Homo-oligomer: A and B are copies of this chain.
Amino acid sequence: MKAFVSGGAGFIGSHLVDSLIENGHTVTVYDNLSSGDKQFIQHHLHQENFTFIKADLLDLKRVKKEIQGHDIVFHLAANPHVRLGEKQTDLDLNQGIVATYNILEAMRHSSIKKIVFSSSSVVYGETQESSLSETYGPTLPISLYGAGKLGAEGLISAFCGTFDFQTWIYRFANVVGARGTHGVIVDFIEKLKKNPKELEILGDGKQCKPYLYVSDCVDGILFGFTHAQEKMNLFNLSCDTTTTVTRIAEMVAEEMKLKNVSFKYTGGIRGWKGDVPRFQLDAQKINTLGWKATLTSDEAVRKAIRDVLHANL
């Protein structure tokens, strides 16, 4: 198939591209490189079945032009920083919601009907549930990033209902691994490189979330796409375990061979306004179809730490 991958030079997007190319598909990456990195797709640039377009999704005319002739869209482009919306409140509105609208509208013009979308578990917001399944409601995200994802989900489902699109929406756990450019693991490593004796930890360190290794994430995306054929297919994508922030700090120190690092907590239950301190994702729906993460949350975190430390690509 001919796949159009928005955000295909980004962290998860580029791993997905690797997998699509490996499976013999033709791939167009559409990325403005605002957070993606050309290095992540370097190895495909001279392949015949690969095209890279450096352009912005907010340029609807360009999206309409470039999307023509594809069979399916994998829409992974977004601002990847959950926290940035606090400072720049229109970032997720534009890069999350308006960009998704442009993708959908361009697809409609080219009669492309299939869209795979990278949503996020942050759409659930802060809840009292011990484990969140896809049937949980109401979804009240507490970050602008989460609002961007929820708004995009709604637009996609509306195009399914109104223009007969078909979709696969994935609500990801925290995805970690090689090419990861941000998040708690990268933060801790950078901080400890500057000062190996002390580590500032945002919040009380008890924040507890599931971490999914990026190759598991890509496998899950493609598995669901192959095995689910409803009009709208929505899945949590996660391992069934969690890791605390303090445990991540300990693992980072271990992998960096640092002893007696003093952890300084900034306090409070969350890392920042809009941070969901604790959640677990119920992935039973996709598990029942036959997919399961190969790594636990702790294993994913440790492997991701090694990836970052050894600059694995």
Give me the interface of A with B, judged by CB distance under 8 Å: 85-86, 89-90, 93, 97-98, 101, 104-105, 108, 123, 125-126, 134-144, 146-148, 150-151, 153-155, 157-158, 160-163, 232, 234, 273-274
| CB nearest neighbor in B for A137 | B137
Q: How many identical chains are in the complex?
A: 2
CB distance from A133 to the nearest CB of B (A): 8
For A157, give its contact among B140, B154, B162 (CB under 8 Å): B140
Sampled A-B contacts (21; CB under 8 Å) = A93-B101, A93-B155, A98-B98, A125-B161, A136-B137, A138-B139, A139-B154, A140-B161, A141-B154, A141-B161, A142-B157, A142-B162, A144-B155, A144-B162, A147-B154, A147-B155, A147-B158, A154-B154, A161-B274, A162-B273, A162-B274
In the complex the two chains form, is A154's CB within 8 Å of B89's CB?
Answer: no
A116 vs B160: C-alpha distance when bound (angstroms): 29
Consensus secondary structure, chain A interface: helix
| CB nearest neighbor in B for A140 | B157
In the complex the two chains form, is A155's CB within 8 Å of B151's CB?
Answer: yes
Known interface pairs A101-B90, A158-B85, A158-B146. Does A137 touch B140 (Cβ–Cβ under 8 Å)?
no
In the complex the two chains form, is B140's CB within 8 Å of A138's CB?
Answer: no
Residues of B within 8 A of A101 (CB): 89-90, 93
| CB nearest neighbor in B for A171 | B138
Residues of B within 8 A of A142 (CB): 157-158, 160-162
A139 vs B98: C-alpha distance when bound (angstroms): 19
